[in-house]
Amino acid sequence: MATVGVEEEYLLADPVTGQLAARAEKVRAAAGVRPFVTAREIQPELLQAQVEVATPVCHTLEEVGGHLLRLRHAVAGAAEEHGCRIMPSGTPVARVVTPVPVTEQSRYRAMQRQAPQLVAEQLVNGMHVHVGVADRSLRVEALNRLRVWLPTLTAMSANSPLWEGQDTGFASWRTIVFSRWPVSGVPPYFAGEADYDRRVRTLLSTGVINDTGQLYWQARLSERYPTVEVRCLDIQLRTDDAVMFTGLVRGVVATAVAEAEAGRPFEDPSPELMRAAMWQAARHGLGGDLIDPSGRRVRARDMVRRLLDHVTPSLEAAGDTRQVNSLVQRLLWQGTGADRQRRALAEGGPGAVTDMIFEAGSMP
């Protein structure tokens, strides 16, 4: 059973106005001194209204859920001490009145000099799942094989429909914002480990990206850990939805590894088709059709069922089948985070959306 680790990014916002609060350093410091949290579990992000948490290496979904709840509660408590609350939303709800300053780190300052407007608008929050794969060449193989499932995962996780206080018409506007960086979107096919390394070196040599942290592919090899890192997911409103996606991503990676070891053929859609499939997923979430690897339009719910069928043997091997299936069924019934934000917007305007996100973020 592959190990997993999860990173979550949160916005900090004023509990009354919903305006973003640039208090990340104070919140991180307060959360890091709590007896049940280590300092390295609470990390800085690009802008000072964002905080990131990172779980330890986990073996079970129960561990993941426990750690995420612990870390959310730690950051939420620290945020309240400094007059703000955490917002587990992929984008802000309210229009940003005051620009949010960049976190004081040399890397972030360099990014601001390189792309000032992109950095100013990088108020987007995701969820990253690391899945342990010991052999690096197998990690590249897994990356090639899981690419086709990234649009489906993006559609399921959509939780960022609003921008500047308005409905964007997209379920995952975060996906669109991230796509503007020079190295982003669905990763390309790699001929092997040496090809991956050669192409990364070439990208670095151009100076367009400053380091491998700016490889904003929606799945990539981690530079720090022996893991495949899937990055296409919006942050989730609730912890148990984050747990569900952790199980799904582990299932996708484990299935890719098993198929690579068995030498099974796999689908390799063209780059333009993968880009179109991802755009469609970001646009509609689960509320419309998705594009399958052959280029056919398929009902989103049918693609979700295909995904479940694909990963079922891996879910069963990990003992995750019942938990993941039940949470997926709830998602199909209740809708995505984007659906819930839009319902709240229709019922009570932006303030109701903010209140719903605050409330959901405090639930298991």
Whole-number Cα distances in Å, 235 to 6, 9, 24, 97, 158: 11, 7, 17, 23, 8
Residue 33 has pLDDT above 80, yes or no: no
Q: How far apart are CA 71 and CA 37, in angstroms?
A: 7
For 41-62, what is each residue's pLDDT tens digit? 999 999 999 999 999 999 999 9
- What is the rounded average pLDDT of the residues 62-86? 95
Are 122 and 108 in contact, with CB atoms under 8 Å apart? Answer: no
Q: Which of 325, 343, 326 is nearest to 335 (CA)?
A: 343
pLDDT of residue 1: 81
Global pTM value: 0.97
For 257-294, what is each residue's pLDDT tens digit? 999 999 999 999 999 999 999 999 999 999 999 999 99
Q: Which CATH number fits domain 4-361: 3.30.565.10, 1.10.10.1100, 3.40.50.280, 3.30.590.20?
A: 3.30.590.20
Q: Indicate the domain borders of the chain.
A: 4-361
pLDDT band at 35 (very low <50, low <70, confident <90, very high): confident
pLDDT of residue 138: 97
